[in-house]
Structures are given as C-alpha cells and as structure tokens.
Amino acid sequence: TIRAEAILGLQTLPSDNTLGVLLVDLSQETDSIVSATALKVIQRGTVPFRQERTVEQVSALLDTPGDRATGERLFFDPAGPGCYRCHQVEGRGAAAGPDLSTIARGSDRQRLLSSILHPSQEMAPMYVPWTIVSNDGQVRTGLLVREGLEGEQFYVAADAKEFVLLPADIDERHESRESIMPKGLLDSSSDEEIRDLWAYLESLR
C-alpha cells in the first residue's frame, strides 16, 4: 500500500518525537509490516534495532508465508538489506555477486539461509575476495570482477563500491577467508520483512 511504502521510505530519516508519534499512529491503523517498521524507525534514534538470527530461527519464521511483492520492494530498497547492491535479478541490480534470477531452482531452504546468514562458510571460487596491500601500506579487501586492457584490476568492496588498482601498485595479495557479503544481513530486519523477502527469493525459479 502507499502508506506502507511511505513508512519504508522513512527508515532512512532520523527519528524524533514528532516522527515517532506519526509512525505510531500509522502503525496502529495498518498491517503488521508497518507496525514492525515503525518500531524500527522509532528505536533507531536511540538504540539500534538488531537481533542476531540463526538458521533455525529464520527457518521457523518461514513456516508463515510472506508477501512476494513486498519482498521484491525490500530487495531493491536502499533502506532494506541492500541485496541489489551486489546481486542481479533479471538484469536489475549489480553483478558483483551471483545472479539470483533463478536462485530458488537449485537451492534448498537450509543451504540458502546458511549462505545468507553465514556467507563466509562456503564460497564459490569465483566469489572468493582478495586482501590487497598496496605499496603505500593501505589494506583493502574486494572481489576481483574484471581486468582492464592496461592490466587494471577492478574490485568490489563490502560496501559495494568499486576500486581500481594497477599490478605495479600491489605489494601483497592473498585470498580472504571472509566474504564481502556482510554477516548478519537480516539482523536488522523484522520477522515480516524476512518472510516477505523470502517469498520473493522463493519465487525466482
């Protein structure tokens, strides 16, 4: 709904008393996703809303179905988990990570949840990032996405921003054990948001 979309957009704004009262009023008149999101916005002004999730906990949440359309909006929402910053679905999004257009076709629930919550446990060879020490002593970690005609190496960091290095500028380079996909990606999401996001991912066949 338009009201729910407005609430989701307000997540990027700082919380104050006036905004908090407005969100409480809206959340009392609408559905559960708005209520949960309103609570997150109000709390963001004081104590960050974070809850560490386990695979078992999230799997249990998914026994209640979510809304696919809302999940798609969350996937591409800058105020959401930020999935689109590294993943594409049908050409929409970035191509730093695996294309998720058919992710539900070959992954079972437990394995997919594990890859989301613990991305460093199992990484495909092409998605293993590099830790690079440049000649000036700067240390960076990123995924090598392509090389230029002049030998430039293009990397994507954990914040989804690209940086470029020349081989001559690199003093040391080795594979990293940590994925550039952030751990605890769903820790700031409500139960409803997780169900909706999963409904969208599960539809990608």
Confidence band for 197, pLDDT divided at 50, 70 and 90: very high
Question: Residue 78 and residue 83: Cα distance in Å, rounded?
Answer: 9
Mean pLDDT, to the nearest integer, of 2-31?
48
Opening angle at CA 82, ends 80 and 85, nearest 5 = 155
Q: Judging by beta carbons within 10 Å of its beta carbon (0-12, 13-18, 19+), is residue 8 exposed, middle or buried?
A: buried
| CB contact set of 13 (below 8 Å; sequence gap of 6+) | 19, 41
Orientation of helix 2-9 relative to helix 32-44, angle to 10°? 20
pTM for this prediction: 0.69
Q: What is the pLDDT of residues 80-125, one digit of tens each?
A: 888 999 999 999 998 888 999 999 987 788 989 999 999 999 999 9
Structure tokens at 159: 């914040």
The pLDDT value given to residue 96: 86
